[in-house]
């Protein structure tokens, strides 16, 4: 017997035939086709499908921005999977913005801080919570023992709410007057109300009922005030036959949506508002009952606006025709329910008191104060009842001392200017001054000069990077917190943020961090922190509304039109304060542009939100600036250009757009983060690196609406 080629042939054919008749072929074909749909082949796809489970909805309140919207979080078993607006919530009634909707991404953000950390050299090392709290308490005790408790300062996002209240409580018990907030619309409203109507007042705007909104740069649909409430008010505007006139150098979404775009030269809004006051006074269009309330400085104010702000003169400054100024002023004064709104962009950037007061003067002149569709002047919401602070001798002495600076900018300047540390220790919570304030280098320099910086933060952001110790706190989905409505919303609503998921990392509620620090300090301070924990404190200090907060999820503190006509003091405007000018000698003016898809405050926009930004704002990793084609000859659309201001220069892409005044360059806020989040950081330029602080004479506010700049092809 011989094995020949024929045998091998038989063997081969037999093997093939055997396999072919067996189920191997059909089975492997089927499995291969299934394999192509699994993550084994596509590792970048979702590595596991969403788990199945019971669907539950939990209600809470979003605190990513001052809007305070009610949210409904859909969960599969214990895992939150979707955030939606909460129906029937008094602020947003089911609406939600893209930041709220993508809020879950903050839970798993790559920049989240997982454990307390201490700075060692240039990097951070993890430490235990016990060590972290005792270390902070030890350093703060040293400051207090030195006899200068005022050298402890604190920076947070807002003045209201119980966590901010706890920080103020701590500072008072410690003996320091140095509590600072980041610039925010609520504090601007209070500053204007205080200047014109007296202490303890604030303003709000009845946008949802007004029939004529004259907005001086307020980005009604760009995230101003309580964004979703503003979207809704704007959405019903056409049905209500209400008008919106937008004064803004750039055709923002709000301006494009308005009935009229009034592209005034940036920085001249105050002049324009006062010129309109002049028209109203000249033509007797004011409400005489309202002007009777103007008890201080009214006659001087009249003569100042009539002589200094004649429309013909102001037309040249603002670039708005005299006839238009007169016409708009007439329309405003003769509208049934007019309201003039201030606060450029989102309202939390630099603002000038002159401008805000001038705009509000329009409201006061036409008399639509405390009336439907107008401005409400009311007492600041006082729903928190903290126990009186028990102060020892050190605390009383320290608290009586002058603040290091009136506003945060001056405090940082004082730190930079002094050879000796004027601030020994700083606590930062829910604020990112190293990113959000003008001239970030100056802020970082001040941070490095302060010997001990504590950051209570969820994310290792630009400010946390400068800290000496970081206490990681819960995100808004993991914590309890009271969230008062703010930013000019016509009702006062306090919402309760509740944990909808167990903490993902070893974090604490910021309130608990503060209480634990307070308890660990010497007896005189610790005596003021007798609450068991933050939840206990929250319940105690909100006792007047706790039932409603815990049962309904919110409490409406006031939703009626305030009664009475408040007195009006225009003596500040009657002094004719100087208008702030942009810093520098270049020919063009760079202005920051607020975009609803980006965030520029304590929290950076999420990965989802960043992805929705148009490529006329961010192209790949480059910021795109808007320039009118008439501004610079020789620049083409999409050219790479070098933008230079007195603060520095940056490479940007050019977007030629007729929707911006010639001579003005618009650059978006909210890009150029540098912390460790590959989805959000290293995209574009931070406009605050290029704009410097300009203090308004007399008020001390940073009023830099922009900065002089030049641009040339790179």
Partner 1 sequence: MSAIENKSENRSTENAGEGVSEDTRDDKGLGLGVIFFLVAFVVCFLSGTFLFPKLLYSKKEQPFNFDHALHTSEAGDCEACHYYREDGTYSGNPKLASCLDCHSEEPLGETEDEAIFVEEYVVKGKEIPWLVYSRQPDCVFFSHAAHTIKAKMDCVECHGHIGESTVSRPYEENRLTGYSRDIWGKNIFGIKKNSWDRMKMDDCAECHKERTGHQGYCFQCHK
User: Should residue 23 be labelled a site residue for partner 1 when binding is judged by CB under 8 A?
Assistant: yes
Of 36-44, 198-206, 235-243, 292-300, which part binds partner 1 (CB under 8 A)? 36-44
Q: How far is the CB of 584 from partner 1 (least distance, A)?
A: 57
User: Should residue 31 be labelled a site residue for partner 1 when binding is judged by CB under 8 A?
Assistant: yes
Contact between 669 and 600 (Cβ < 8 Å): yes
Contact between 486 and 66 (Cβ < 8 Å): yes
Of 14-22, 173-181, 334-342, 669-677, which part binds partner 1 (CB under 8 A)? 14-22
Quickly tell me which residue has 């922190």 as its tokens.
Answer: 529
Binding-site size, partner 1 (CB under 8 A): 40
Residue 562: Cβ within 10 Å count: 17
Indicate which single residue of 43, 47, 52, 564 sits in contact with partner 1 (rule: CB under 8 A): 52
Indicate which single residue of 29, 34, 255, 627 sits in contact with partner 1 (rule: CB under 8 A): 34
User: Should residue 312 be labelled a site residue for partner 1 when binding is judged by CB under 8 A?
Assistant: no
User: Should residue 18 be labelled a site residue for partner 1 when binding is judged by CB under 8 A?
Assistant: yes
| Residue 452: φ, ψ to 5° | -140, 110
Contact between 618 and 277 (Cβ < 8 Å): no
Q: How far is the CB of 651 from partner 1 (least distance, A)?
A: 45
Quickly tell me which residue has 């945060």 as its tokens.
Answer: 408
User: Should residue 19 be labelled a site residue for partner 1 when binding is judged by CB under 8 A?
Assistant: yes
CA distances (Å), origin 159, targets 151, 163, 181, 182, 623: 20, 9, 7, 9, 33
Contact between 464 and 680 (Cβ < 8 Å): no
Q: Which two tokens stand for residue 434?
A: 């190293």
User: Should residue 256 be labelled a site residue for partner 1 when binding is judged by CB under 8 A?
Assistant: no
Q: How far is the CB of 60 from partner 1 (least distance, A)?
A: 21
User: Should residue 713 be labelled a site residue for partner 1 when binding is judged by CB under 8 A?
Assistant: no
DSSP line for 47-113: SSPPPP--EEEEEEE--SSTT--EEEEEEETTEEEEEEEPTT-TTTTT---HHHHTGGGGTT-TTB-
Q: How far is the CB of 15 from partner 1 (least distance, A)?
A: 4
Indicate which single residue of 37, 236, 614, 651 sits in contact with partner 1 (rule: CB under 8 A): 37
Tell me whether residue 40 or residue 620 sits nearer to partner 1 (CB atom). Answer: 40
* Radius of gyration of the chain, Cα coordinates, nearest whole angstrom: 29
User: Should residue 79 be labelled a site residue for partner 1 when binding is judged by CB under 8 A?
Assistant: no
The residues, ordered by sequence, that sit 6+ positions from 330 with a Cβ below 8 Å of its Cβ are 279, 283, 285
User: Should residue 1 be labelled a site residue for partner 1 when binding is judged by CB under 8 A?
Assistant: yes
Tell me whether residue 34 or residue 388 sits nearer to partner 1 (CB atom). Answer: 34
Quickly tell me which residue has 């913005």 as its tokens.
Answer: 97
Quickly tell me which residue has 């506003």 as its tokens.
Answer: 407
Q: How far is the CB of 478 from partner 1 (least distance, A)?
A: 21
Residue 147: Cβ within 10 Å count: 12
Of 21-29, 436-444, 613-621, 706-714, which part binds partner 1 (CB under 8 A)? 21-29
Name the pairing type of β-strands 70-76 and 212-216.
unpaired
Of 37-45, 286-294, 341-349, 639-647, which part binds partner 1 (CB under 8 A)? 37-45
> By three-state DSSP, how is residue 656 classified?
strand
User: Should residue 5 be labelled a site residue for partner 1 when binding is judged by CB under 8 A?
Assistant: yes
The residues, ordered by sequence, that sit 6+ positions from 413 with a Cβ below 8 Å of its Cβ are 405, 442, 446, 693
Residue 259: Cβ within 10 Å count: 14
Of 12-20, 95-103, 417-425, 602-610, which part binds partner 1 (CB under 8 A)? 12-20
Indicate which single residue of 29, 30, 128, 560 sits in contact with partner 1 (rule: CB under 8 A): 30
Q: How far is the CB of 82 from partner 1 (least distance, A)?
A: 15
Residue 22: Cβ within 10 Å count: 10
Tell me whether residue 9 or residue 630 sits nearer to partner 1 (CB atom). Answer: 9
CA angle 53, 54, 58 (to 5 degrees): 125
User: Should residue 7 be labelled a site residue for partner 1 when binding is judged by CB under 8 A?
Assistant: yes
Indicate which single residue of 29, 35, 644, 659 sits in contact with partner 1 (rule: CB under 8 A): 35
User: Should residue 38 be labelled a site residue for partner 1 when binding is judged by CB under 8 A?
Assistant: yes
Q: How far is the CB of 175 from partner 1 (least distance, A)?
A: 48
Tell me whether residue 37 or residue 448 sits nearer to partner 1 (CB atom). Answer: 37
User: Should residue 238 be labelled a site residue for partner 1 when binding is judged by CB under 8 A?
Assistant: no
Contact between 378 and 558 (Cβ < 8 Å): yes
* Nearest-angstrom CA–CA distance, 554 and 542: 11
User: Should residue 108 be labelled a site residue for partner 1 when binding is judged by CB under 8 A?
Assistant: no
User: Should residue 29 be labelled a site residue for partner 1 when binding is judged by CB under 8 A?
Assistant: no
Of 4-12, 130-138, 429-437, 458-466, which part binds partner 1 (CB under 8 A)? 4-12
Q: How far is the CB of 57 from partner 1 (least distance, A)?
A: 11
Of 19-27, 203-211, 383-391, 627-635, which part binds partner 1 (CB under 8 A)? 19-27
Q: How far is the CB of 25 from partner 1 (least distance, A)?
A: 8
**HEC-encoded secondary structure of 4-24:** CHHHHHHHHHHHHHHHHHCCH
Of 45-53, 397-405, 556-564, 689-697, which part binds partner 1 (CB under 8 A)? 45-53
Contact between 496 and 549 (Cβ < 8 Å): yes
* Nearest-angstrom CA–CA distance, 3 and 666: 86
Q: How far is the CB of 40 from partner 1 (least distance, A)?
A: 7
Q: How far is the CB of 423 from partner 1 (least distance, A)?
A: 48
* Nearest-angstrom CA–CA distance, 167 and 178: 11
User: Should residue 8 be labelled a site residue for partner 1 when binding is judged by CB under 8 A?
Assistant: yes
Q: How far is the CB of 396 from partner 1 (least distance, A)?
A: 52
Quickly tell me which residue has 């039109």 as its tokens.
Answer: 561
User: Should residue 22 be labelled a site residue for partner 1 when binding is judged by CB under 8 A?
Assistant: yes
Q: How far is the CB of 72 from partner 1 (least distance, A)?
A: 15
Q: How far is the CB of 59 from partner 1 (least distance, A)?
A: 17
Q: How far is the CB of 33 from partner 1 (least distance, A)?
A: 9
* Nearest-angstrom CA–CA distance, 446 and 414: 9
The residues, ordered by sequence, that sit 6+ positions from 302 with a Cβ below 8 Å of its Cβ are 281
The binding site for partner 1 (CB under 8 A) comprises 1-19, 21-24, 26-28, 30-32, 34-35, 37-38, 40, 49, 52-55, 77
């Amino acid at each position: 017997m011989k094995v020949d080629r024929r045998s091998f042939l038989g063997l081969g054919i037999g093997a093939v035939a055997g396999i072919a008749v067996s189920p191997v072929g059909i089975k492997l074909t089927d499995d291969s086709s299934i394999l192509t749909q699994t993550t084994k082949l596509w590792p970048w796809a979702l590595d596991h499908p969403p788990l199945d489970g019971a669907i539950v909805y939990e209600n809470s309140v979003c605190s990513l921005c001052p809007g305070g919207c009610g949210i409904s979080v859909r969960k599969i078993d214990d895992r939150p999977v979707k955030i939606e607006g909460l129906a029937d919530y008094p602020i947003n009634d089911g609406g939600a913005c893209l930041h709220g909707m993508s809020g879950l991404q903050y839970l798993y953000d790559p920049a989240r801080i997982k454990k307390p950390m201490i700075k060692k050299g240039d990097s951070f090392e993890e430490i235990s919570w016990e060590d972290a709290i005792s270390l902070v308490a030890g350093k703060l005790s040293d400051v207090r023992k030195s006899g200068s408790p005022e050298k402890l300062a604190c920076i947070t996002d807002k003045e209201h709410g119980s966590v901010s209240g706890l920080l103020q409580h701590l500072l008072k018990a410690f003996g320091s007057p140095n509590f600072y907030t980041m610039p925010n619309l609520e504090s601007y409203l209070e500053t204007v109300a205080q200047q014109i109507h007296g202490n303890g007042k604030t303003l709000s705007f009845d946008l949802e009922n007004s029939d004529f909104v004259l907005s001086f740069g307020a980005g009604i649909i760009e995230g101003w005030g309580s964004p979703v409430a503003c979207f809704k008010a704007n959405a019903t505007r056409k049905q209500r036959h209400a008008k919106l006139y937008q004064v803004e150098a750039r055709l923002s979404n709000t301006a494009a949506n308005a009935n009229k775009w009034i592209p005034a030269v940036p920085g001249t809004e105050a002049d324009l508002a006062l010129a309109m006051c002049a028209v109203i006074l000249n033509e007797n269009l004011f409400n005489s009952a309202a002007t009777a309330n103007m008890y201080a400085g009214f006659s001087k104010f009249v003569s100042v606006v009539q002589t200094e702000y004649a429309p013909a003169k102001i037309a040249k400054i603002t670039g708005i025709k005299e006839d238009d100024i007169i016409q708009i002023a007439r329309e405003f004064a003769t509208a049934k329910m007019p309201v003039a709104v201030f606060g450029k962009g989102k309202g939390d950037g630099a603002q000038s008191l002159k401008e805000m007061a001038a705009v509000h003067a329009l409201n006061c002149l036409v008399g639509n104060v405390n009336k439907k569709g107008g401005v409400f002047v009311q007492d600041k919401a006082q729903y928190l009842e903290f126990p009186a602070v028990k102060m020892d001798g050190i605390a009383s002495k320290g608290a009586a001392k002058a603040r290091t600076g009136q506003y945060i900018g001056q405090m940082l300047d004082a730190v930079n200017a002094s050879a000796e540390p004027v601030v020994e220790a700083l606590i930062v919570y829910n604020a990112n001054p190293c990113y959000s304030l003008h001239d970030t280098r100056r802020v970082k320099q001040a941070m490095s000069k302060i010997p001990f910086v504590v950051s209570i933060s969820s994310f290792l952001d630009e400010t946390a990077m400068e800290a000496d110790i970081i206490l990681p706190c819960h995100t808004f989905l993991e914590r309890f917190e009271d969230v008062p409505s703010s930013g000019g919303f016509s009702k006062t609503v306090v919402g309760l943020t509740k944990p909808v998921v167990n903490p993902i990392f070893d974090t604490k509620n910021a309130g608990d961090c503060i209480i634990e620090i307070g308890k660990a300090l010497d007896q005189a301070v610790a005596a003021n922190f007798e609450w068991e924990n933050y939840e206990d404190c929250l319940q105690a200090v909100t006792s007047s509304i706790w039932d409603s907060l815990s049962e309904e999820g919110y409490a409406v503190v006031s939703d009626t039109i305030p009664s009475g006509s408040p007195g009006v003091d225009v003596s500040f405007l009657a002094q004719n304060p100087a208008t702030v000018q942009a810093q520098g000698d270049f020919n063009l003016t760079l202005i920051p542009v607020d975009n609803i898809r980006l965030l520029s405050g304590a929290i950076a926009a999420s990965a989802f939100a960043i992805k929705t930004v148009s490529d006329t704002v961010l192209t790949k990793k480059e910021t795109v600036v808007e320039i009118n084609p008439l501004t610079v000859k020789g620049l083409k659309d999409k050219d790479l250009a070098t933008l230079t201001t007195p603060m520095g220069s940056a490479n940007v892409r050019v977007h030629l757009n007729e929707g911006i005044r010639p001579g003005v360059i618009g650059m978006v806020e909210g890009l150029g983060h540098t912390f460790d989040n590959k989805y959000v950081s290293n995209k574009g330029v931070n406009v605050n690196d290029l704009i410097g602080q300009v203090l308004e004479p007399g008020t001390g506010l940073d009023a830099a609406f922009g900065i002089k700049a030049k641009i040339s092809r790179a």
